[in-house]
Amino acid sequence: MSSRLVVETREIDPVEDLLAYADPSRPLAWLRRGDGIVAVGDGVVETIRIPAGAAPMRSAAIAAAWRDLAQDAEIDDELALPGSGLVAFGALTFDEGSSADSVLVVPALVIGRHHGRTWLTRIRSSSTSHPALDPQSEASTIGYGPHWAGTVGPGAQSPQGYQDSVRQALARIADGELSKVVLARDLTGSIPAGSDLRRLVRALSTGYPDTWAFAVDGLIGASPETLVTVQQRTVTARVLAGTIGRGADADADTAASAHLASSTKDLDEHEYAVQSVLASLRPHTRALAASEQPFLLKLPNLFHLATDVEGELADGGSSLDLVGALHPTAAVAGTPTSAAIAAIRELEPFDRGRYAGPVGWVDAAGNGEWAIALRCAQFTPAETDIAVTAYAGAGIVAGSDPESELLETRVKFRPLVDALA
């Protein structure tokens, strides 16, 4: 008989700082307002890695591989809370053609917290014997390393090159090739070898508590945009499209929010994104509904137009199946999708990797929380230091101004650049 996973979850005393248990060099974390799940140390039981060219649809391949792994698992979980029991952390590429890997990581130990309750989960192979789970002796904190600072500057796409790409996109829109395309630019740099990356996750999590702060396989960020959440067959999603920077004072803030709420360009861009999500979810859900008008989501550095969507899972699918159906949304690719992806490949001089791809977690029942990997950077160990590539993008529609779009990317870079400094 082949080996299967054996999973035990036990409630433990409250823990204030989940990140204190994470691996400093390769943290695995998913946090929002202090709740979430974090891998304890560096132990990994299983990694599902789908490299470029391994499957025509990597999102479907990873969903099938997870279903195969989870279906035979022996799970002892009396809490049944979001993130308890068998879980995997995931980060998928934006483009199926990317040279980066899509990955699901199953840690050996996970510590989690949800609405005041804290737990420890141990995951192991049935072929390895182990004494009963003892939460008090299994998990210990790791002291934070010293503060560090990184430096980033223009990457493959310069500020001038970005504006040129926007102009080319506007010409394609005027020619009727597409209605919207999201164009990104990159910043590249480095941080010192041995830096404690948990410090960056903590800075983003505390500075932007209403976002999903994440760390998966070197991808670290704080995303304001939920791709999809599934819990007990209830499906929810939050669509963000249309952005303006916050004002320097209360009056400027009010003026900025009023401008965004009445901007035809931003409202059109937002509607494209909402319709894209609804069309993707309808085949998999019933009783699907979205608010009629977008609301203003206020973050520390900007306003977004936002719409919440809710429905009920109609088939035997999982959150990973919905991730595959939804991604890429019009909010991060454009409309129509195929034309937007083709334009991105031609107009961006870099491979996005996992930027703007799905990031989150999934459990054995298919529940999970998935965001779009925005306000993020990929950290890659190099010979003498750790290479960093950060990304930010803006939606281009008829009426977009190249300089304004460049400024929007600067605003979106700020959370990460500030945290790196």
Catalytic positions, written as ranges: 180, 225
Number of Cβ within a 10 Å radius of residue 224? 22
- For the chain, the distance separating the N- and C-terminal CA atoms, rounded to the nearest angstrom, is 52
Are the C-beta atoms of residues 319 and 371 closer than 8 Å to each other? no
Q: Give the bridge partners for 377, in sequence order.
A: 220, 390
DSSP three-state, residue 66? helix
Residue 42 phi, psi dihedral angles, 5° rounding: -110, 10
Structure tokens at 370: 């998935």
What is the b/e burial string over 362-400, where b = at least 16 CB atoms within 10 angstroms of the residue's CB? bbbbbbbbbbbbbbbbbbeeeeeebbbbbbbbbbbbeeb
Burial of 349 (0-12, 13-18, 19+ CB in 10 A): middle
Number of Cβ within a 10 Å radius of residue 103? 22
The maximal CA–CA distance of the chain, rounded, in angstroms, is 69
